[in-house]
Amino acid sequence: MIVRLWRHPDAAGPVVDASTAATIALVRHGETDWNRQGRIQGSTDIPMNETGRRQARATASRLGPLGWDAVVTSPLARARETAEIIADGLGLPAPDLEHDLAERRHGTLEGLTSSERRALEARAVPIAGLESRVSVVSRAVPSLLRLAARHPGGAVVAVTHGGVIQSVLLHLWERRSLPSGAVANGSVHELLVTGTRLQVVCSDVDAIGVADLAGEAPA
Q: Which residues are annotated as a binding site?
A: 28-35, 78
CB atoms closer than 10 angstroms to residue 66: 13
The helix (H) or strand (E) run that includes residue 28 is strand 22-28
CB atoms closer than 10 angstroms to residue 105: 17
CA distance linking residue 200 with residue 94, whole number of Å: 26
Q: Is 103 an annotated catalytic residue?
A: yes
The helix (H) or strand (E) run that includes residue 170 is helix 162-173
> C-alpha 37: how far from its chain's center?
21
Q: Which residues are annotated as a binding site for substrate?
A: 28-35, 78
The DSSP annotation for 139-152 comes to: HHHHHHHHHHHHST
Is there a contact between 54 and 30 (Cβ–Cβ < 8 Å)? yes
Catalytic residue among 98, 103, 131, 190: 103
Of the candidates 191, 185, 205, the residue with the CA atom closest to the CA atom of residue 145? 191
Length of the chain in residues, anyone? 219
Of the candidates 162, 27, 46, the residue with the CA atom closest to the CA atom of residue 104? 162
Catalytic residues: 29, 103
